[in-house]
Amino acid sequence: MNSLKKFVLLCLMLCSSIAFAQQQGKVIEEQTVKSNILKRSVKFTIYLPADYETANRTYPVVYLLHGYTDDNTGWLQFGEINRYADKAIADGTIPPMIIVMPNADSSFYINAYDGKENYEDFFIKEFMPHIEKAYRIKTEKKYRGVAGLSMGGYGAMIYAVKYPQLFAAAAPLSAGIFPDDQIVGMPDNNWETVLGPLYGRGLKGKDRLNKAWHDNSVLDLVQAKTTEQLSSVRYWIDCGDDDFLTKGNCLLHIALAEKKVPHEFRTRDGAHNWTYWRTGITDALAFIGDSFRQK
């Protein structure tokens, strides 16, 4: 290969690398916000679209919630959310958006029955206002979405149902939604470890179906809301056919259908794992992104 051809090839490779780099969003893996409600600082991870540093504009936002035992880095480390978002934005599948991933420990994104961990209050009253002031984010409902997996899927659904005035769309994946019979029959060690800190420790059988539980049961809240109230949010519900949470998600679909609430329900081949969530997150973000676009 002569010198001219080598030079041309090198230029093409350089241009290609620059173009690729320009399409990559920026990830800030560890940021913190001080919470007066929780009396501690809370970590979060944030994805900024590729043109954030150069464009003079504001962006829609998606709050992307992690699952039980994960933290704010879960969607980045295991879900590779930056790679999927970069590709989807580049090919026009989703509009440019900011994706925010807060750490929630094992809170299920709600207020605990004993008032010791009021994460829901923190998220709504402190976290969202902080994020939407610190970054160039559109602060209207129609430009705000929420999504998540497992515990985070429950969080996405509970926020959408409790605060329909705040979210245009919700996309729970493999949401941690339990019908009453599963709560009653849950093994004691599972209850004490996972749900007891939220709804009451030491409870057995039907005693678990207390006010704290009913106040935070997605299925109960859907029944208590009107069709009009529920229909003000767009829902994308996705759960694998081999997932242990399939029953709760199917019952949610039935409850919404019986109330004639428009929603999308997907049951794909898969289980409760990252392979399933990675293959579903682009469709979930695309669904939310359609809410941001002018019809």
Whether residues 212 and 183 share a domain: the answer is: yes
Specify the CATH number for the domain of residue 139: 3.40.50.1820
pTM of the model as a whole? 0.92
Rounded to whole angstroms, what are the CA distances from 131 to 126, 234, 242?
9, 23, 36
Whether residues 75 and 185 share a domain: the answer is: no
CB atoms within 10 A of CB 15: 10
Closest alpha carbon to 282 in 126, 121, 91, 137: 91
Write phi, then psi, for 24 (nearest 5 degrees): -90, 130
User: What CA–CA distance (Å, rounded) separates 13 from 17?
Assistant: 6
Structural domain count of the chain: 2
pLDDT number for residue 23? 79
Q: Is residue 19 part of a domain?
A: no
Query: Which residues share a beta bridge with 238?
Result: 173, 266
Whether residues 150 and 262 share a domain: the answer is: yes
pLDDT number for residue 9? 54
pLDDT number for residue 173? 98
Whether residues 140 and 166 share a domain: the answer is: yes
pLDDT number for residue 295? 73
pLDDT number for residue 123? 98
Per-residue pLDDT of the chain (295 residues; tens, 9 = 90+): 566 555 545 545 444 444 444 579 999 999 999 999 999 999 999 999 999 999 999 999 999 999 999 999 999 999 999 999 999 999 999 999 999 999 999 999 999 999 999 999 999 999 999 999 999 999 999 999 999 999 999 999 999 999 999 999 999 999 999 999 999 999 999 999 999 999 999 999 999 999 999 999 999 999 999 999 999 999 999 999 999 999 999 999 999 999 999 999 999 999 999 999 999 999 999 999 999 998 7
Whether residues 183 and 171 share a domain: the answer is: no
Whether residues 29 and 98 share a domain: the answer is: yes
Q: Is residue 227 part of a domain?
A: no
Q: Is residue 224 part of a domain?
A: no
pLDDT number for residue 4? 53
Given 216, 241, 276, which residue is the final one in a domain? 216
pLDDT number for residue 3? 60
Is 151 within 8 Å of 68 (Cβ atoms)? yes
Whether residues 118 and 212 share a domain: the answer is: no
Q: Is residue 205 part of a domain?
A: yes
Instruction: Enumerate the H helices of 91-232 as residue ranges.
Output: 119-121, 128-134, 151-162, 180-184, 188-190, 196-199, 211-215, 218-224, 227-230
Q: Is residue 11 part of a domain?
A: no
Q: Is residue 16 part of a domain?
A: no
Closest alpha carbon to 43 in 1, 98, 104: 104
pLDDT number for residue 20? 43
User: What CA–CA distance (Å, rounded) separates 249 from 49?
Assistant: 32
pLDDT number for residue 18? 42
pLDDT number for residue 1? 54
Whether residues 174 and 192 share a domain: the answer is: no
Whether residues 280 and 161 share a domain: the answer is: yes
pLDDT number for residue 290? 97
Whether residues 287 and 270 share a domain: the answer is: yes
Domain residue limits at 203:
179-216
